[in-house]
Amino acid sequence: MSVPLGNVNGRNLVIASVGTSTEPASNYQESNAEPIERTNGGDLLPGDMWYNSITNVLSIFTSTGWISVTKNTDDLEMRVNDLENQVYAIEQRLDSAGL
């Protein structure tokens, strides 16, 4: 089974094998107020994400509460672009190694 991830720098990224995990998947919420539970009514878990639609700040829930990981959407876009560049560089190294 393969799962397409999308196109990065003109290259299609695909997960070639997908397994199962006993770890709960993170939950994403967008609102103007700090969530106190998951969208399904369950407890918040470390790794859950919340995007504040008023301040444009992305936060991740930890065992001690919410921490901001971006100052604003421009910062988030910059981080995504940096990550895409890193993925591209790794792909280039793999290609040159014949992998």
Percent of the chain at pLDDT > 90 equals: 16
Interatomic CA distance for residues 53 and 33, integer angstroms? 9
- Cα–Cα dist 50/44, whole Å: 11
Percent of the chain at pLDDT exceeding 70? 68
Q: Tell if the pTM clears 0.75, that is, is over it.
A: no
Work out the average pLDDT over 42-68. Answer: 89
Q: What is the predicted pLDDT for the residue at 44? A: 92
Under the banding of pLDDT at 50, 70 and 90, the label for residue 1 is very low
Across the chain, the runs of DSSP E, i.e. the strands, are 3-8, 11-15, 28-31, 49-52, 57-62, 65-68
pLDDT in tens, 23-41: 556 788 999 999 999 988 9
